[in-house]
Amino acid sequence: MIEGNIFNIEHFAIHDGPGIRTIVFLKGCPMTCIWCHNPEGLSTKRHIVRYDKKCIGCGKCVKACPQGALEISSSDSIVLDAKKCIACGKCVDVCCANAIEMVGKTFSPREVADITLKDVAFYDESGGGVTFSGGEPLFQWQFVRECSKLLRKRGVHIAMETSGCVKEDIIKEIAPHVDLFLYDLKHIDPVEHRKYCGIRNESILDNLELLSRMGKEIIIRMVVIPGVNDSPGTVERLCEFLKGIIGIRYISLLPLHKSATEKYNRLDKEFLLSDFEVPNDEEVKAIAEIFQSKGFTVQIGG
């Protein structure tokens, strides 16, 4: 039986697609974008995260850990040795302060359908539905396909937020089961794309063209990062490419934010964008005007 590894299911979302939606966040991603706002979704494996501010220093988690992976520091915060941790979850079970959390849980397609269909009345009323996000949901494409089949039988609108970083055959398999693609374009230049995301982007652009030929509805999403992808030349080059893409509803510009900083701290990872500037309203508006001058509809945020 196909199962999926999910790290969050968010109800009553009003972004990531039209109407009121439930967003299913799947673990695993082939890219390493330095601005990723869901770092807990990068790994395919489940893992432990800690909340130092919640810890009361009782030490129950230390005693419960069979691997000796936990200790309490002199400041009464949790110290986790990730190399020793096997994510058994025993520390989570005994923590009365909810200071330790397991990220990642296995679900069947039927379980996901049952959870998300509880809100079907809100989808129907608002024109909403279910959005699969991540991580990269196509990292678990067979699971997503089976979930989508169950939901679409009930008339639920399916959206998918994706980087398109998969083989062409996977796009062909999943596209008939998705109504709307929220397609993330990080950078138009393949060398710069590899610099900031870990891989080149030729297959990503090819897959976007494939979705266009298949007649799929698409929203292009771009995180605006000063000094990375916001120069007029870079934006104009992206516009030239997108002119050949049929089915684009609009361009969604998402200003860089640093709200994920605490997530990186919990994972003992460095947030590499800590020194980058957040774009101001005028900078984002200037980029929007370039897209608009080329005939594209633009939405800022969401």
Cβ atoms of residues 271 and 258 within 8 Å: yes
Residue/partner pairs of 269-276 with CB below 8 Å, 24 or more apart: 269/39, 272/34, 273/34, 273/35, 273/225, 276/35, 276/225, 276/226, 276/227, 276/228
Render pLDDT for 118-141 as a digit per residue (tens, 0 to 9).
999 999 999 999 999 999 999 999
Maximum Cα–Cα distance across the chain: 63
Which regions of the chain carry the CATH code 3.20.20.70?
A: 4-44+105-300
Exposed/middle/buried for residue 295 (C-beta within 10 Å: 0-12, 13-18, 19+) = exposed
Q: Tell me, what's the pLDDT at 147?
A: 99
CA angle (193 as vertex; 141, 139 as ends), nearest 5: 10
Report the CATH number of the 47-102 domain.
3.30.70.20
- Please give the full DSSP string across 3-37, using - where no structure is assigned: -EEEEEEEEEE-SSSSSSEEEEEEP--S---TT-S
Render pLDDT for 1-50 as a digit per residue (tens, 0 to 9).
899 999 999 999 999 999 999 999 999 999 999 999 999 999 999 999 88
Render pLDDT for 243-283 as a digit per residue (tens, 0 to 9).
999 999 999 999 998 888 888 888 878 887 777 789 999 99
| Number of neighbours of residue 162 by Cβ within 10 angstroms | 28
Q: Tell me, what's the pLDDT at 276?
A: 79
Residue 231, helix vs strand vs coil: coil
CA angle (4 as vertex; 265, 149 as ends), nearest 5: 130
Residue 41 CB contacts under 8 Å (≥ 6 apart), including other chains: 7, 25, 26, 27, 28, 29, 134, 135
Which regions of the chain carry the CATH code 3.30.70.20?
A: 47-102
The CA radius of gyration of the chain, in Å to the nearest whole number, is 20
Amino acid symbol at 302: G
| Start-end of H helices in 250-280 | 261-266
Choose among 120, 131, 45: nearest CA to 88.
Answer: 45
The whole-angstrom separation of Cα 144 and Cα 155 is 16
Residue 272 CB contacts under 8 Å (≥ 6 apart), including other chains: 34
Render pLDDT for 66-109 as a digit per residue (tens, 0 to 9).
999 998 887 777 888 989 999 999 999 999 999 999 999 999 99
Render pLDDT for 158-205 as a digit per residue (tens, 0 to 9).
999 999 999 999 999 999 999 999 999 999 999 999 999 999 999 999
What CATH fold (topology level) applies to the domain 4-44+105-300?
TIM Barrel (3.20.20)
The whole-angstrom separation of Cα 131 and Cα 10 is 10
Q: Tell me, what's the pLDDT at 77?
A: 76
Q: Tell me, what's the pLDDT at 169?
A: 98
Q: What is the DSSP letter of 292?
A: H
Q: Tell me, what's the pLDDT at 198?
A: 96
The whole-angstrom separation of Cα 54 and Cα 72 is 13
> Residue range 220-231: average pLDDT?
96
The whole-angstrom separation of Cα 149 and Cα 178 is 9
Q: Tell me, what's the pLDDT at 273?
A: 73
Band (53; pLDDT cuts 50, 70, 90): confident
Chain centre distance of CA 7? 11
Q: Tell me, what's the pLDDT at 74?
A: 75
